[in-house]
């Protein structure tokens, strides 16, 4: 099997390993050969020494078949953006003077390596992850592999190029403003920007810490999903890490509603070809069963403006304050110009912007009741290296028109290829959904990619024809919300414990629930939550337990009327299964206790 004949997508490599046609050391030799002959410059800031690669490969080869089967990424090569730590290798964040050698790998790198993956090297980026262009690096600008006169997109430029050229199977980027999506669009690959906090930030050089988000580039949606399942998870040592609250929805497939900005709000910055490609994408989504719904994009656009036009620049300054004040000349000129603006915002401006952002979130919330996802051009256009050099800030801002709002509004997105312009440059769309809805829209993203693309990245390898199901790593269990007698310390909590359920987290419903007492003044007294309007309802305290699927049937059999199990909307916008009341006549004569907001608070006042 020679280098040109081998596709590095996960499905193909796993098949080759399983059939014994390939060993990790063979693959490392092929990867090194491809890197040696690669015509695209400035991809790598640091390459893993050949001796280290072969040592890692040989160690994997000593494993038994059973041990290999326990490593889901056995022998899989990947690249790491050089603002993410790999133990023993330098981290520069695109700034030579900032370089340090970490003793420990970032949490996400550690998880991937423990799953059998092999780091090929650290990739080039817009310095300190500040930019969407791929040109703001003292290590050299990264030209587009499809046409070297154009930009590759940033800031995760090297990671995207290494993947599209077939040098690795997947790569890690970061995405604070669009850095995991713009390069995906410009390189004909998939970019998954997960929910903020789903991937740990431990070992990642901060750009804008409260908004930073590691991201995944892959050749297929299935590959990106598999990597996410391995790399994700709550990290008690990771800043802003969050426990996943997956909706119980099985996902969208046959029929769905997708939002598109009003025609007057769509921006292609004079690029008629990009506009045509987006219009074709809309038609393709409709053929997949989608119904287009025009939405007001203004709240998203205003939120996007806040990222660089508001006080969040101060967070970028805070991330490297000691370094930039001690060595300002070490920064790339345009990077320094942008980050130094972070010294200016006042606390007053910060709070005003936070209030405005909250207002924008509330304007957008009702939108998700009418659409399942939002569909946008990943970018409105693409620029040449010369254009960016002549106007680096304004044109970079244009590239963020459809991306900069994402983390401020706590959304997730799949960026997938949408074909090519007549000049041969790739285009892409982004499928956007609320936090923790990656799986809900994954199949739509995969099906669209399958329909629109004939090859993976810049390689000649065709997309795999089979679209596998998208499952969570912990799919054998479900999340169940409880409000009353099953709460920790309450009389029926033992029923959860006995069936193997574990407390996942405490939280609240969305502010649209009423709560009543069933069998008041009896030992069987219990709360009944009913979803209602925001005018009548409020948030109700609850616990969410992780329950094995195998125990659900027996548990439900114990539940008496008027209670049952249904969908419960949480205050973060996600949905879980939980106790609900049948409603209607079942509520007649019941005392309402909504005002207490909690079963425990109600019990305390009753005694």
- Mean pLDDT, 10 residues at a time, over the chain (607 residues)? 75 89 96 97 98 98 90 96 98 98 98 97 97 97 98 98 98 98 98 97 97 97 95 93 78 83 98 98 96 98 92 93 94 92 89 96 95 97 98 97 97 98 97 95 94 91 78 68 93 89 86 90 89 85 86 84 86 80 77 93 85
Considering 179, 232, 241, 574, which one is annotated as catalytic?
179
Interatomic CA distance for residues 166 and 159, integer angstroms: 11
Q: Which two structure tokens, joined as six digits, stand for 339?
A: 């980050």
The verdict on whether 15 is a catalytic residue reads no
The reported pLDDT for the residue numbered 246 is 79
Same structural domain for residues 394 and 541?
A: no
Same structural domain for residues 448 and 484?
A: no
**3-state DSSP call for residue 592?**
strand
Domain that holds residue 579: 477-606
Binning the chain into helix, strand and coil, the percentages to the nearest 5 are: 35, 20, 40
Are 530 and 581 in contact by the 8 Å Cβ rule? The answer is yes
In a domain, 423, yes or no: yes
What separation in angstroms does the CA of 443 have from each of 111, 192, 471, 575? 25, 13, 11, 19
In a domain, 526, yes or no: yes
The reported pLDDT for the residue numbered 190 is 98
Interatomic CA distance for residues 296 and 552, integer angstroms: 42
173: nearest Cα among 42, 76, 79, 81: 81
Same structural domain for residues 536 and 436?
A: no
The reported pLDDT for the residue numbered 238 is 94
429: nearest Cα among 561, 278, 579: 278
The reported pLDDT for the residue numbered 335 is 93
Q: Write the CB contacts of 233 (distance below 8 Å, at least 6 apart in sequence).
A: 111, 200, 244
Cβ atoms within 10 Å of 305's Cβ, excluding its own: 15
The verdict on whether 215 is a catalytic residue reads no
Considering 155, 241, 430, 574, which one is annotated as catalytic?
155
Same structural domain for residues 63 and 132?
A: yes
Q: Which of 419, 452, 485 is the last residue of a domain?
A: 452
In a domain, 508, yes or no: yes
Q: How many residues does the chain have?
A: 607
Same structural domain for residues 541 and 486?
A: yes
Same structural domain for residues 379 and 482?
A: no
Same structural domain for residues 523 and 398?
A: no
In a domain, 460, yes or no: no
In a domain, 434, yes or no: yes
The reported pLDDT for the residue numbered 505 is 85
Looking up residue 200, the CATH number of its domain turns out to be 3.90.1300.10
Same structural domain for residues 122 and 156?
A: yes
Q: Which of 385, 418, 452 is the last residue of a domain?
A: 452
With vertex at residue 155, the alpha carbon angle to CA 6 and CA 429, rounded to the nearest 5 degrees, is 70
What separation in angstroms does the CA of 74 have from each of 31, 49, 199, 374? 15, 20, 21, 36
Q: How far is CA 293 from the centre of its chain?
A: 24
**3-state DSSP call for residue 514?**
strand
Q: Which of 413, 435, 452 is the last residue of a domain?
A: 452
In a domain, 8, yes or no: yes
Same structural domain for residues 208 and 171?
A: yes
Q: At what angle do helices 272-287 and 438-452 cross, to 10 degrees?
A: 110
The reported pLDDT for the residue numbered 522 is 87
Are 486 and 493 in contact by the 8 Å Cβ rule? The answer is yes
- DSSP secondary structure string, 223-267? HHHHHHHHH-S--TTSTT-------S-----S-EEEEEE-GGG--
pTM for this entry = 0.80
Same structural domain for residues 104 and 223?
A: yes
In a domain, 290, yes or no: yes
Looking up residue 520, the CATH number of its domain turns out to be 3.10.490.10
434: nearest Cα among 506, 366, 513: 366
Considering 81, 111, 202, 439, which one is annotated as catalytic?
81
Are 125 and 154 in contact by the 8 Å Cβ rule? The answer is yes
Same structural domain for residues 127 and 267?
A: yes
Same structural domain for residues 60 and 130?
A: yes
Q: Which two structure tokens, joined as six digits, stand for 71?
A: 């490593």
In a domain, 365, yes or no: no
Pairing of strands 411-420, 426-434: antiparallel
The reported pLDDT for the residue numbered 556 is 87
Q: How many domains would you assign to the chain?
A: 2
417: nearest Cα among 426, 409, 425, 408: 426
CB burial class (10 A; 0-12, 13-18, 19+) of residue 341? middle
What separation in angstroms does the CA of 101 have from each of 158, 173, 202, 309? 20, 19, 15, 34
130: nearest Cα among 404, 377, 492: 404
CB-facing half-sphere around the CA of 535: CA atoms within 13 A? 0
3-state secondary structure 162-213: HHHCCCCCEEEEECCCCCCCHHHHHHCCEEEECCCCCCCCCCECCCCCCCCC
The verdict on whether 81 is a catalytic residue reads yes
| Dihedrals phi, psi of 62, to nearest 5 degrees | -80, -10
Are 515 and 593 in contact by the 8 Å Cβ rule? The answer is yes
The reported pLDDT for the residue numbered 471 is 67
């Amino acid at each position: 099997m020679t280098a040109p004949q081998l596709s590095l997508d996960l499905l193909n490599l796993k098949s080759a390993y399983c059939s014994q046609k390939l060993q990790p050391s063979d693959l490392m030799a092929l990867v090194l050969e491809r890197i040696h002959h690669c015509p695209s410059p400035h991809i790598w800031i640091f390459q893993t020494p050949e001796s280290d690669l072969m040592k890692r490969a040989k160690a994997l080869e000593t494993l038994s078949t059973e041990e290999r089967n326990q490593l889901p990424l056995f022998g899989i090569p990947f690249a790491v953006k050089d603002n993410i730590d790999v133990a023993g290798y330098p981290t520069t964040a695109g700034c030579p003077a900032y370089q340090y050698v970490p003793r420990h790998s970032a949490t996400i790198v550690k998880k991937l390596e423990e799953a059998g993956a092999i780091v090929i090297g650290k990739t080039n980026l817009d310095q300190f992850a500040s930019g969407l262009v791929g040109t703001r690096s003292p290590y050299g600008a990264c030209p587009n592999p499809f046409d070297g006169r154009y930009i590759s997109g940033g800031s995760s430029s090297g990671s995207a190029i290494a993947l599209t050229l077939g040098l690795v199977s997947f790569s890690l980027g970061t995405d604070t403003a669009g850095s995991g999506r713009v390069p995906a669009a410009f390189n004909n690959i998939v970019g998954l920007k997960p929910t903020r906090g789903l991937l740990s930030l431990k070992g990642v050089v901060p750009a804008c810490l409260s908004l930073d988000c590691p991201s995944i580039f892959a050749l297929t949606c299935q590959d990106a999903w598999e990597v996410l399942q391995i790399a994700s998870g709550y990290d008690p040592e990771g800043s802003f890490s969050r426990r996943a609250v997956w909706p119980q929805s099985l996902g969208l497939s046959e029929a769905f509603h997708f939002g598109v900005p009003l025609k007057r709000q769509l921006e292609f910055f004079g690029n008629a070809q990009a506009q045509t490609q987006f219009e074709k994408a809309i038609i393709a989504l409709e053929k997949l069963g989608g119904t287009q719904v025009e939405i007001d994009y203004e709240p998203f656009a205003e939120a996007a403006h806040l990222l660089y036009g508001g006080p969040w620049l101060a967070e970028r300054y805070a991330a490297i304050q000691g370094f930039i004040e001690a060595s300002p000349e070490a920064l790339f000129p345009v990077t320094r110009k942008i980050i130094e603006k972070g010294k200016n915002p006042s606390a007053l401006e910060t709070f005003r912007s936070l209030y405005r952002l909250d207002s924008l979130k509330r304007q957008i919330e009702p939108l998700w009741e009418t659409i399942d996802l939002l569909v946008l051009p990943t970018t409105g256009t693409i620029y040449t290296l010369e254009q960016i050099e002549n106007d680096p800030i304004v044109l970079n801002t244009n590239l963020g028109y459809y991306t900069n709002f994402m983390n401020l509004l706590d959304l997730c997105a799949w960026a997938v290829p949408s074909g090519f312009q007549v000049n041969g440059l790739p285009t892409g769309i982004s499928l956007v959904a609320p936090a923790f809805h990656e799986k809900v829209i994954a199949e739509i993203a995969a099906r669209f990619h399958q329909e629109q693309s004939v090859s993976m990245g810049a390689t000649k390898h065709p997309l795999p024809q089979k679209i596998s199901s998208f499952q969570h790593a912990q799919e054998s269990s479900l999340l169940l919300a409880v409000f009353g007698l099953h709460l920790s310390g309450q009389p029926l909590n033992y029923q959860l414990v006995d069936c193997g359920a574990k407390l996942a987290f405490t939280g609240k419903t969305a502010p649209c629930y009423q709560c009543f007492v069933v069998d008041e003044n009896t030992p069987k007294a219990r709360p009944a939550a009913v979803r209602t309007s925001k005018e009548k309802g409020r948030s109700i305290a609850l616990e969410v337990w992780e329950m094995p699927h195998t125990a659900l049937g027996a548990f439900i059999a114990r539940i008496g009327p008027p209670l049952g199990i249904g969908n419960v909307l949480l205050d973060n916008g996600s949905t879980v299964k939980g106790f609900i009341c049948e409603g209607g006549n079942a509520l007649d004569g019941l005392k309402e206790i909504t005002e207490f907001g909690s079963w425990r608070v109600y019990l305390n006042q009753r005694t």
